[in-house]
Structure 1
Amino acid sequence: MNNHLCHWSALTILGVTGIAILNAAPVIAETQDFEVLPPTIEISSENADVLTDVQVQATESGLVITFETTAEALPAVTTTTVGDRLIIEIPDVILSLPGENIVEVLQPTAEIESVQISPGENGGGRIVITGLTAPPMAAPQLTGEQLIVEVTPDESIAENLELVVTADATADATTNSYTVSEATTATRTDTPLAEIPQSIQVIPKAILADQGVSSLDDALRNTSGVLQNSADARGQRFVVRGFDSASVLRDGFRPTFGFSGNIGYPELANIEQVEVLKGPAAILYGVSEPGGVINLVSEKPLSEPFYEATLELGNRNQVAVGVDLSGPLNEDGNLLYRLNALYRNSDYYRNFNVDLERTFIAPTLAWQIGDRTDLDLFVEYSADQRPYDTGLVAIGDSVADIPFDRNLSQLDDINEATYWRTGYEFEHRFSDNWKVRNGFNYIAYNTIFESSFTLGFDPTTGDLDRSYIQLDQPSSTYAVQTNVVGEFSTGAVDHTVLMGVDYIHRNQSGNNLRGFGPNSSFTQNIFNPVYGTVPRPDFETQPIIRFGDTYINAVGIYLQDQMDIGDRLHLLAGLRYDTVSQRVVNPTSLAETTQNDDAFVPRLGVVYRPIEPISLYTSYSQSFAPNSGTNVDGDTLPPEAGEQFEVGVRAEALEGALVTNLAYFDIRKNNVATSDPDNIGFSINAGQQRSQGIELDVMGEILPGWKIVANYAYTDARVTANNDGQAGNRLINSPYHSANLWTTYELQTGSLKGLSFGVGVNYVGDRFGDLNNSFSLGDYFLTNAAIAYRQDNWRAALNFRNLFDVEHITGTRNNRFEVYPGEGFTLLGTLAVEF
């Protein structure tokens, strides 16, 4: 009780302090800040004026770009228009952007698609402003020590452009900000985060780069209430708000479907940001768990040339080389490309003879077909090899007391996987207010593994009875989405309406399982393992066990209305109808079993902004997922149904540079399958699970150069109704308390300008490894650190993860024989060079 009181006291103090800081922040009336960059000090040039402290603000007539400047007069500049772009070239100046050398703001207003501030090709500076349907107009004025560039789509602006700016010598593809202003995962529209009535956290690439992150589980430590659960070679599973199997999306598309789980280990080399939407997301994404969804948003081609090469070296013989290339393919600039490619190899962190190896390539084309029409084409391919690691085992009420790097299978157990993803995104704007989007994804995934299956375990002697098996699991997924987005007004209410339909087809071929035959069984002792006593059999001689071929078809139709009543009140209402059919064909008899489910799922939300930096919100949403098992009459059970109530406050400080989100949630998952007490061997949908808790997320820049990511989650997730003796038990791998902190500081002045230091900690409280709560996974506290140096066109960094080599368990597969230990001490050196 005292420990809980301490945790609640700490949370209260942190929350009150955060709100107090945010309320102290100044408010700028009638403007919206899109990029706030701290000033750079000690910049000198004998022959050029200097521009620093870039800000982009929306106004009623367009937008304003503001610089701090040393200029006393406005020199002449050249301007050109290419398609819908206005290009302002500023010679003989120095453009100073702290830490990075490109600032890009997407869709700052309804009429302006993007603003990019960067060095010019021959020195000096360049501002590229892209209009939605035509090139905008711009005019500068010098006011005291500020240069103000007014941008408007109205041709009444004067055409004489004179400007002063400064520039670093290089260009980078991304900003270095820890915060973003918009995300599409929550609404499938370009909605400011401050107007979304549901908790959503966005992890931009700048955070991943500073932390040296290359895996999704490490990236997700930057948001509250998300944990990796299992991590077998076929794919990761994540717990969000206490519920397992959160869907991992790619650009809003699901690589797999519902009860099929996630596939593989996603590559982050071409990911711009990771968006985590907490709570039910069925309104837009259909079948899903009620905890939330994780969306990986891909990088887009750039309008300016960008070339970067990266080299990584680390302990466990880790080496990785990668390139990121982008720019225009023609003089008109309406055909852009981007190419991400990577090769990575390292030893595994446990005792296996199989390396971790990945080859990845992802080309993308962006074609501006006309003033109102865009088409993006993409391909991704990866080939992976990794050990098939079944982890450790539990004895009694805890994980077996053996070294965490010990292999309990065979040294050459292996998983090989190939992944193809291809498709397109098409958008056509009928007018300034109406547009249609259509997207298609095709994913082919095949994994073949040779491993050791557990037949039995004697905890007294430590003997594991196992059998060699080989499993081939090919699958393919086709998905199509079409959305129409329209903006209009009814009286004092401004509407943004989304109407859409999506279709997904998944085919998983019958698993070709070989094993359990002659010369395939062996015994492994966990206290004294001996490898290779029984040679791996020729699997062609082993019996074949084929499961049924599975075909899934799902169609969803949805309608959503975002209503703005003035600047302070924002309403959200949506409704979706889903129908899902599953057909399983026996490969031998060709007999079929079918399951059909449908559901209506709503979402309602309200955001009230008493002052511009503060958003108070509440929402109600539902989820839906087909059930498993049959009742005594042979009928499939009705689908699971989740529902969430959430209230929260989102606050921005320091003109949007620091963002805080505090949320309370209550999720109930109904119709969970449980044993029929009157009919042994059958199920009824009388089970229920519930998760409630509080989450706090803080992210951004406190002072120039000082950045922070901090989060805390209190989660009480448990079984509330069940006929299997589990009522009252906590859900798998769901601790009461978890917290993460990461903070960096980069020197802003002096001879060591560009040198930065970072430190972080990860805490996960005690958890249970199965629904029976028969064994504990323990708690853990990890420490991370970094030192980096950024100069001109290169960056070097050293990242230290799990600095003190703490043994810890990340999760399980809801059984006592697959308990997954986390990585030990990891050192990673990175050198990135831009050309």
Structure 2
Amino acid sequence: MTLSLHPLTRALRASLFGLSLAVAAVPVMAEQGAASQQQSWDIPAGPLADALDRFARQAGVSLSYAAEEVAGKQSPGVQALSDTAEALRMLLGGTGMQVEQLSPKAFLLNVPGDAQGALNLGAISVVGAGLGGVTEGSGSYTTGAVSIGKTPQSLRRTPQSVTVLTEQRMKDQNLTNLKQMLQQTPGVVVDQTDSERVTYYSRGYQIDALQFDGSTINVDWRSGNFIQPDVATLDHVEVLRGASGMLRGSGNPSGVVNMVRKRPTREFQGSASYTLGSWDANRYVADVSGPLTESGNIRGRVIAVHDDKDFFQDTRMERKNVFYTVLAADLSDSTTVTGGLEYSEIDATGAWGGLVPDFDGSPLRFSRSTFLGANWARWDRTNTHAFAELDHAFDNGWSL
């Protein structure tokens, strides 16, 4: 059976369908009309911030902008019959700002960027300095290059475990000699044989490789004649653990201790310090450095130390004096010659070997302050180190 619609029914359905389309389109048309509706504007010229505030209240819209982009700018005002967006553009005339309509009632104001949309920023100066081989005055706990090997290398390019004790760390921990520094180094064992002799171990072997500025010196740690270097003369200390044949030639698998001396500075500087500690410990340090000529091509440095202290043991005492001087001269823009002298002396009472044991081998129960050495026993000694070096920088970046 075939059903047919009455012509009147078809006409009613078509009318209802057209009415629904018209109703659905009303909100869109009304919203678009609100944005383009014209009205009369009368906002006088004046500060841009005040003009925008008045415009927003009069138009009932939301304006978003950065306060620093508006501050100090003047608006020409607007007296016209126009829609909201056009009136806002006239209000911003001559200010260099642009309008972006986010919605019929919201606008974004900003300073236009370049053709790619990036903001035009003012010139930015970045000033910095990378870490070099000197740690003095850097406040750093590392160094840009270590001089243990044949040539200075960064820590990243050194194929061994390396600990650097910088000037800043020495100050923070109040370290005064090499023994104290190695006691703070991971992987190093400090063996105090008696009052004056000390031996260092790493990786199970004795460390017998001692360097100043990358150059090995012959010294017997166990003899007691070697005076532990004073930190006042050192810029930093580098401790390499493990075999170092790849870097410095033959040696044992224990490690290397490299001490980097302080050098003259191109600017004048001077310092003096006094430290007071337990058991009548008194330490005086004076350090003066700077140019010796007007051009600064000749520079010098002098460091003097007096360290005077007693110990928790009866009759024990130590008096140490250190004098260090170094000169540097620029023979050319790429060549520098450096020479220096370090003199150290210690007057001390000490004992050879440790305490004698009881008959059964157990330690004797002496008081902590007991000292079995004679009060007239002395262990006085002096050390003198002289050095000279020539540095030349080639045009291809190599140095000698």
User: Displacement, 1:294?
Assistant: 1.1
Separation in 2 of the partners of 1:323 and 1:380? 15
CA contact (8 A) 1:345 1:356 kept: yes
3-state secondary structure, aligned to 2:179: helix
CA contact (8 A) 1:238 1:245 kept: yes
3-state secondary structure, aligned to 2:285: strand
More helix by share: 2
User: Displacement, 1:189?
Assistant: 2.0
Matches within 5 A, 1:68-87: none
1:381 to 317, 339, 343: 343
CA contact (8 A) 2:136 2:235 kept: no
- Shift in CA distance, 414/245, structure 1 to aligned 2, threshold 3 Å: farther
1:189 to 151, 165, 175: 151
Separation in 1 of the partners of 2:275 and 2:183? 22
- 1:214 maps to 176
Aligned partner of 1:266: which letter? P
Aligned partner of 1:411: which letter? N
Q: Any idea what the Cα deviations from partners look like across 1:599-650, whole Å, max 9, x if unmatched?
A: xxxxxxxxxxxxxxxxxxxxxxxxxxxxxxxxxxxxxxxxxxxxxxxxxxxx
1:432 to 393, 396, 399: 396
- Shift in CA distance, 401/285, structure 1 to aligned 2, threshold 3 Å: farther
Matches within 5 A, 1:559-598: none
3-state secondary structure, aligned to 1:326: strand
Separation in 2 of the partners of 1:275 and 1:381? 22
CA contact (8 A) 1:303 1:327 kept: yes
3-state secondary structure, aligned to 2:168: helix
Separation in 2 of the partners of 1:148 and 1:415? 56
3-state secondary structure, aligned to 2:231: coil
Q: Any idea what the Cα deviations from partners look like across 1:137-182, whole Å, max 9, x if unmatched?
A: xxxxx9569532599xxxxxxxxxxxxxxxxxxxx95122222232
Matches within 5 A, 1:123-522: 147-149=125-127, 174-185=137-148, 187-232=149-194, 235-257=197-219, 263-285=226-248, 288-352=251-315, 354-390=316-352, 391-395=354-358, 396=360, 399-436=363-400
More strand by share: 1
CA contact (8 A) 1:235 1:264 kept: no
Q: Any idea what the Cα deviations from partners look like across 1:301-322, whole Å, max 9, x if unmatched?
A: 1111110001111121111211
Matches within 5 A, 1:656-675: none
Aligned partner of 1:364: which letter? V
User: Displacement, 1:338?
Assistant: 1.2
Separation in 1 of the partners of 2:246 and 2:220? 14
User: Displacement, 1:242?
Assistant: 2.2
- Shift in CA distance, 260/217, structure 1 to aligned 2, threshold 3 Å: closer
3-state secondary structure, aligned to 2:126: strand
Separation in 2 of the partners of 1:173 and 1:338? 14
Aligned partner of 1:408: which letter? L
CA contact (8 A) 2:179 2:228 kept: no
Which fold has the larger relative contact order, with Cα–Cα distance below 8 Å and residues 6 or more apart in sequence? 1
3-state secondary structure, aligned to 2:399: strand
Separation in 1 of the partners of 2:252 and 2:372? 32
3-state secondary structure, aligned to 2:288: strand
Separation in 2 of the partners of 1:305 and 1:272? 17
CA contact (8 A) 1:229 1:238 kept: yes
Q: Any idea what the Cα deviations from partners look like across 1:763-808, whole Å, max 9, x if unmatched?
A: xxxxxxxxxxxxxxxxxxxxxxxxxxxxxxxxxxxxxxxxxxxxxx
Aligned partner of 1:376: which letter? T
Separation in 2 of the partners of 1:218 and 1:369? 38
CA contact (8 A) 2:198 2:221 kept: no
3-state secondary structure, aligned to 1:218: helix
Aligned partner of 2:295: which letter? D
CA contact (8 A) 1:329 1:335 kept: yes
Gaps of 5+ in 2: 1-119, 130-134
Separation in 2 of the partners of 1:150 and 1:410? 58
User: Displacement, 1:215?
Assistant: 2.3
Separation in 2 of the partners of 1:150 and 1:176? 14
CA contact (8 A) 2:150 2:248 kept: no
Separation in 2 of the partners of 1:345 and 1:393? 29
Aligned partner of 1:299: which letter? K
Aligned partner of 1:401: which letter? R
Separation in 2 of the partners of 1:235 and 1:264? 9
TM-score by length of 2: 0.62
User: Displacement, 1:238?
Assistant: 1.0
Matches within 5 A, 1:94-133: none
CA contact (8 A) 2:136 2:168 kept: no
User: Displacement, 1:218?
Assistant: 1.7
Aligned residues: 273
Q: Any idea what the Cα deviations from partners look like across 1:442-491, whole Å, max 9, x if unmatched?
A: xxxxxxxxxxxxxxxxxxxxxxxxxxxxxxxxxxxxxxxxxxxxxxxxxx
RMSD: 2.8
Separation in 2 of the partners of 1:280 and 1:394? 37
Q: What fraction of aligned residue pairs are identical, expressed as a percent? A: 26
Gaps of 5+ in 1: 1-141, 152-171, 437-835
Separation in 2 of the partners of 1:233 and 1:251? 28
Separation in 2 of the partners of 1:178 and 1:430? 30
Q: Any idea what the Cα deviations from partners look like across 1:63-103, whole Å, max 9, x if unmatched?
A: xxxxxxxxxxxxxxxxxxxxxxxxxxxxxxxxxxxxxxxxx
Separation in 2 of the partners of 1:173 and 1:259? 28
Separation in 1 of the partners of 2:173 and 2:201? 22
Separation in 2 of the partners of 1:420 and 1:236? 20
CA contact (8 A) 2:208 2:221 kept: no
User: Displacement, 1:389?
Assistant: 2.2
Separation in 1 of the partners of 2:193 and 2:145? 31
Separation in 2 of the partners of 1:340 and 1:415? 25
3-state secondary structure, aligned to 1:182: coil
TM-score by length of 1: 0.31
Separation in 1 of the partners of 2:201 and 2:221? 15
- Shift in CA distance, 177/289, structure 1 to aligned 2, threshold 3 Å: same
Aligned partner of 1:412: which letter? W
User: Displacement, 1:261?
Assistant: 6.0
Q: Any idea what the Cα deviations from partners look like across 1:366-408, whole Å, max 9, x if unmatched?
A: 1111022110110000111112223323455654333333212
Aligned partner of 2:329: which letter? W
3-state secondary structure, aligned to 2:328: strand
3-state secondary structure, aligned to 1:210: helix
- Shift in CA distance, 289/348, structure 1 to aligned 2, threshold 3 Å: farther
CA contact (8 A) 1:364 1:376 kept: yes
Matches within 5 A, 1:603-614: none
